A = this chain, B = another copy of it.
Amino acid sequence: MSSPSSAPLRLGIAGLGTVGIGVVKIVQTHAEMIMRRGGRPIEIVAVSANSRTKERGADISGYAWEDDPVALGRRDDIDVVIELMGGENGAAKALVETALKNGKDVVTANKALLARHGTELARLAESHDRVLRFEAAVAGGIPVIKALTEGLAGNRITRVMGVMNGTCNYILTRMEATGQGYNVLFDEAFKLGYLEADPNLDVGGIDAGHKLSLLSAIAFGTEVDFDNVVLQGIGSISLDDIRLARDMGYSIKLLGVAQMTGRGLEQRMTPCLVPETHPLGQLQGGTNMVVIEGDSVGQIVLRGAGAGEGPTASAVMGDVLDIARGLRLPVFGQPAATLTDAPPAVVSAGAPWYLRMTLLDKPGALAKIATLLGESGISIARMRQYSHDGTDAPVLIVTHKASSDDISFALAKFAETGVVVGDPVALRIEEV
């Protein structure tokens, strides 16, 4: 079969951290395999990074050097710019824009950039007849962008779910395995280098929320709308929650869910209970998982490493090979001009909820809570008061289906009862 071009595909790489060096290594070690699969040679022409002389474990002396990464976007001898610097603005954005305007295709791993500016960059790319690809931005080495955009393109997508921050899943599963608390394991993750410079990007759900917003856009044909992803981090999850959930047959995951509802586009990245018998519930450690549901295909589960040199570089190279082979798709799988501006669903679809609170040990406290829930239109499926030594009584309630609105209403009222100590914890039980 004739390739669209047999000329070498010439790359410029901005950012030579872990992922950038991973890409360099693949290009250097697998040249013959890449040519066989891509139908043409793939060459690195120029690179840019913070330091030219830093020891990186790969020989970059044969490549042209640019102090200014944006200059890569203007070089005549580059076909594809690979942006691996990160950051939602600044040089990364300037480089991507410059490259597209100068007729270069772009491959990026930058979820923050696309979550903030994805629709605008897609319009720019398509107006210049360029492709902008980002498999590496979501769930590391798992080819989920490709599965959703291409393999499952014959489906109306009904829901996308995912555990897409390995650090959060590491902390949560280590809490369960070791019986150590959140703070201890946060420190452990920090020491292991698993946390971003701003840890809230991880444990606050922001990084995973960025990824979810990109999957949403493809799945539902909507403009990227990160601002309306409901975010809740894992900092409020206690060992008690993990144990109580497990006793009922659930695991707690920082779970992203996107679905189009009659009330608008629902996007949330929040800790949820999922059945421990489902692959999501069984996911251990830093591994990522994305679940895609379509009207024809049913439920597809994709699992793999969500970060790291090899997996992320693998995703970048998949995109590069697609470009070498002549695959040219709109950025989000349909022309950017056809992406709709869906209203956000303020109230999430009904689900059972897990509520944990501490009540003052005085007569009628439990009855007050039960009454209040009833008045809020929430019916109780199970309720359990745990034995206790002191004056405060831990209480677990599992509700029947209730909307997030009803739950928020009830939580606000709890404070007025005068019997609830501290903040109650409310976690959705996602039906998978």
- Given A135-B151, A325-B329, answer yes or no on A300-B304 (Cβ-Cβ < 8 Å): yes
Q: Which label, helix, strand, loop or mixed, suits the secondary structure of the A interface?
A: mixed
Provide the bound-state CA to CA distance between A165 and B141, in Å: 26
Residue on B nearest A301 in the bound complex, by CB: B303
Kindly list chain B residues whose C-beta atoms are within 8 Å of the C-beta of A304: 297-301
Tell me which residues from 294 to 344 in chain A have a Cβ below 8 Å from any Cβ of chain B. Answer: 294-305, 308, 310-311, 313-318, 320-322, 325-330, 333-335, 338
Stretch at the interface among A29-37, A61-69, A76-84, A402-410: A29-37
Number of copies: 2
Kindly list chain B residues whose C-beta atoms are within 8 Å of the C-beta of A334: 36-37
- Given A302-B301, A302-B302, A328-B326, answer yes or no on A296-B153 (Cβ-Cβ < 8 Å): no
Q: Are A317 and B154 in contact (CB under 8 A)?
A: yes
Q: Are B303 and A153 in contact (CB under 8 A)?
A: no
Nearest Cβ on chain B to A422's Cβ, whole angstroms:
36
Q: Are A321 and B154 in contact (CB under 8 A)?
A: yes
A166 at interface, CB cutoff 8 A: no
Kindly list chain B residues whose C-beta atoms are within 8 Å of the C-beta of A126: 1
Q: Are B303 and A300 in contact (CB under 8 A)?
A: yes
- Given A282-B282, A298-B304, A300-B303, answer yes or no on A321-B150 (Cβ-Cβ < 8 Å): yes
Q: Are B318 and A153 in contact (CB under 8 A)?
A: yes
Residue of A150, A310, A313, A330 most packed against chain B (CB within 10 A)? A150
Provide the bound-state CA to CA distance between A152 and B26, in Å: 12
Contact with B along A139-181 (1 / 0, CB 8 A): 0011100110011111110000000000000000000000000
Provide the bound-state CA to CA distance between A302 and B289, in Å: 10
Residue on B nearest A26 in the bound complex, by CB: B154
> Among B2, B154, B303, which residue has its beta carbon within 8 angstroms of that of A313?
B154
A204 at interface, CB cutoff 8 A: no
A73 at interface, CB cutoff 8 A: no
A38 at interface, CB cutoff 8 A: yes
Contact with B along A14-44 (1 / 0, CB 8 A): 0000000010001000100110111100000
Nearest Cβ on chain B to A147's Cβ, whole angstroms:
5
A256 at interface, CB cutoff 8 A: no
> Among B131, B155, B321, B330, which residue has its beta carbon within 8 angstroms of that of A314?
B155
Q: Are B154 and A143 in contact (CB under 8 A)?
A: no
Q: Are A129 and B317 in contact (CB under 8 A)?
A: no
Nearest Cβ on chain B to A128's Cβ, whole angstroms:
10
Provide the bound-state CA to CA distance between A30 and B150, in Å: 15
Q: Are A310 and B295 in contact (CB under 8 A)?
A: yes
Provide the bound-state CA to CA distance between A311 and B322, in Å: 25
Provide the bound-state CA to CA distance between A1 and B151, in Å: 20
Kindly list chain B residues whose C-beta atoms are within 8 Å of the C-beta of A36: 221, 334-335, 338
> Among B135, B156, B279, B325, which residue has its beta carbon within 8 angstroms of that of A33?
B156
A-B contact pairs, 30 of them (CB 8 A): A1-B126, A1-B131, A1-B330, A2-B129, A26-B154, A30-B156, A33-B156, A34-B153, A34-B154, A36-B221, A36-B334, A135-B151, A151-B318, A152-B314, A152-B318, A153-B317, A155-B317, A279-B279, A279-B303, A296-B310, A297-B305, A297-B311, A298-B305, A298-B310, A299-B304, A301-B301, A301-B302, A302-B302, A325-B328, A326-B327
A interface, CB within 8 angstroms of B:
1-2, 22, 26, 30, 33-34, 36-39, 125-126, 129, 131, 135, 141-143, 146-147, 150-156, 221, 279, 282, 294-305, 308, 310-311, 313-318, 320-322, 325-330, 333-335, 338
Given contacts A30-B154, A146-B150, 6 further A-B contacts (CB under 8 A): A1-B328, A33-B156, A38-B153, A141-B297, A153-B321, A296-B314
